[in-house]
Structure 1
């Protein structure tokens, strides 16, 4: 989930990266006279424990609830092993991203940089062939961040509507699209809240509901009656890309990680060997393996898009559906805040300000943007009301780039020309990771789009196992 710190960190413009000359870009990245951490004067920095809690909270949402279905696509043994491997890969790439941002801040002598600014700064100091792409790749990062966050909002609309439908079905059955239409008005109203400070109390409520609901889900998976269907241990290569997209969506909280490190009182503890990132990701991966394996054993090939929909009927299970629906409704406003801020502060506000627009017109324009983005996510959710396919698509498309490809490109640039280590191992490692990211992006995106086409345009629902 998105935190208040994350939204701020993605929108504050701290340095005009594009104005840096190529001559300055080629300076030594290891300038020891400036440490960005010493110049971060934060009004309310978080300690290590608070940062760990935020990291755990941000990773326990719709992604973890989709893990049983992901295991149904990968097989039990493959799912366990692949989740651990992908978790280690994601953790390493997040460390690479944080270290590369630190190097970019060091060269530009600024305490903080956003992800797009860091990408531009890294490329401007990298190989001459890449320097010309500094501006375009920075914009590309913005595009992927906006698409990813709007994708999360689409997933949330589908999730909320599906859970509400499950609650009211015993009394009155309606298509899931009707439930989406019913919640559209409240979502728009909630998305018009102008500041994250006003959303903070709602975010605290969402945290409590999420943890209580997850505890009840695990209780059901452990104590409930298991399916008698045979388990698939190894899965199929044709459905594995969908698993890869889902696990990337679930584990890769790129913007959150950047924000958490940027707002720590002791940022060096974030990427220490036994620091916040490694410790938090270890706990997260273990939880994902547990929920995925237990959920798959519980429902086998009948796993639905969210494990909450597989729980047996009863008041306690209904309360879980209600708790997660409320928590994800609140989280929608937090996640939609990010693309609003990126588009508004990065693109629309500068143009309107240059045209001399009065404050009243600026307010109207910002509210229009909020409503437009909310309507866009609603239309996409109605068009593809399949939570699992949404998660796989946006995980493969956006997070393969944001969480793997872009960080290693940045590391190559900040290590250029002579900091690749013995035998240039870092360069070969980064090239290998880039290839893995591209393969995951292409294969995962193709598989998700193919499943969407087969499900909705050929009247042939996509199977879990080919």
Structure 2
């Protein structure tokens, strides 16, 4: 009827104008391509993005996978590695897809991890829009928690390696791991005072070279003279499986660097899809983690330690070199990992500090943060259990919980799929997250109490 009146009066009524505007806005959103509006000064090639993502997922966690297999046995460990790889890949995919779609709606070239979460809540269901600022804080603090928790693990990595080296070179000087954590406090405080990313590039190069050499030496010892498979269990007690899940998530999750890598690609359309940078990288990562975890466990059995480098023979010069290299690699990686949480924390408090005291405040914040990570390492001086605890709390939250919630909120008023597929699928993923969180924390904390009481 309204359309008839408009035709008769040869004029537009209010409802028609509103409808036309809505259709126009929708058309503009669909025609807007975020990739065409990205102005990246130094875009990364597809191959370069692959290596960046590979590097972010291949780190000290790779050396912890044999200990993870100890908690499940061979068969559940292999299946669990594939399962965690698939879930981690899917959560990255839904986060990147949601970020691209919200960029198209908001007509923005790109969004960071935190800004993606905020924009989704700002444009989501009306009842949730009021929580957008709380979501910003939660995402930032989750990111900071991942970095701070990860660096606590690094402190134990370095301390354990130093203890192994010094115990061999100077057997008359036996110190505890807690003591080595304390010795590391001052050097870590000093190296963390470097505030600009460009000055950290040499540290990154040194760390990468040392880590590659360490992995090469470790693989050499692992694959030479493999014992019979009977040295390892086919399946361990189910009660220990949660520590495998949290360790595997700690090892494989690199979601904190995904958005920066995707946003700076010369051809971002190559990031997702099959074959895409993400899928190819995660297949390689899952395969490497599975192989190192499986054969490392077969090699050392129930005696495997939190980092497989600690199982290398002390009397062999090549093995001793690998232990020194991994200590150097993780030491320089520490300051790189601290860059992100320091940037987040400083952006929160800089406006509350007088300009005259900015330099002193930065020094104090960085010193306090390093002290916090060392304190956590001293409180839980067991590499294997600390990795499980940090993976269960921080890495699962950043890599599982937030992407699932963000996609659900974004799709709520749009399209949840046939038979609400997205809702059911994300419900299962949320259940998996809570299983990892609760069981992983319970297993790690209960074993910490037993071991140190």
TM-score w.r.t. the length of structure 1 is: 0.88
The CA distance in 2 between the partners of 1:349 and 1:378, in whole Å, is: 24
2:324 corresponds to? 322
Mark the structure with the bigger radius of gyration: 2
Give the distance between the partners of 2:231 and 2:329, measured in 1 at CA.
Answer: 34
Q: What displacement does 1:252 show?
A: 0.7
Residue of structure 2 in register with 1:420 after alignment? 416
Query: Which has the higher mean CA deviation after the structures are superposed, 192-201 or 221-230?
Result: 221-230
- What is the DSSP-based 3-state SS (H/G/I as helix, E as strand, rest coil) of the residue aligned with 1:174? coil
Are the structure 2 counterparts of residues 29 and 244 from structure 1 closer, same or farther at C-alpha, using a change threshold of 3 Å? farther
Distance (whole Å) between structure 2 residues aligned to residue 80 and residue 413 of structure 1: 33
- 1:112 shift after superposition: 2.5
Q: Secondary structure at the match of 1:66?
A: helix
Alignment of 1:377-392 (within 5 A): 377-392=373-388
Q: Pick the aligned partner of 1:110 from 95, 108, 111.
A: 108
Instruction: Measure how far apart 1:28 and its partner are.
Output: 6.2
Partner of 1:397 in structure 2? 393
Partner SS for 1:182: helix
More helix by share: 2
Structure 1: state its 5+ residue gaps.
1-23, 459-466
Structure 1 residue 367: Cα displacement: 1.6
Q: Quick check: 31-40 or 216-225, which moved more? A: 31-40
> Deviation at 1:227?
7.4
Pair 29,288 (structure 1): closer, same or farther in 2 beyond 3 Å: farther
- Residue 306 of structure 2 aligns to a residue whose secondary structure is coil
For residue 157 of structure 2, what is the aligned residue in structure 1?
A: 159
Task: Give distance in 1, aligned partners of 2:127 and 2:304.
Answer: 48
Moved more, 218-227 or 263-272: 218-227
Deviation at 1:396, TM superposition (A): 0.9
> Which of the residues 343, 346, 358 maps onto 1:344?
346
Contact 2:58/2:252 (8 A) holds in 1? no
Structure 1 residues 160-239: aligned runs within 5 Å: 160-170=158-168, 171=170, 172-224=173-225, 226=227, 230-239=231-240
Aligned residues: 426
What residue is the counterpart of 2:300 in the other structure? 299
Supply the RMSD in Å over aligned alpha carbons: 1.8
Whether the 8 Å CA contact 1:249–1:395 is kept in 2: the answer is yes
Per-residue Cα deviation, 1:166-216 (whole angstroms, up to 9, x for no partner): 111121322122222222221111100111100101101111111111011
Contact 2:305 2:311 in 1 (8 A): yes
**SS class of match (1:417):** coil
**Residue of structure 1 equivalent to 2:440:** 444
Higher alpha-carbon deviation: 27-36 or 433-442: 27-36
Alignment-derived partner of residue 260 in structure 1: 261
Could you tell me which residue of structure 1 aligns to residue 358 of structure 2?
A: 362
1:236 Cα offset (Å): 1.7
Residue 376 of structure 1 corresponds to: 372
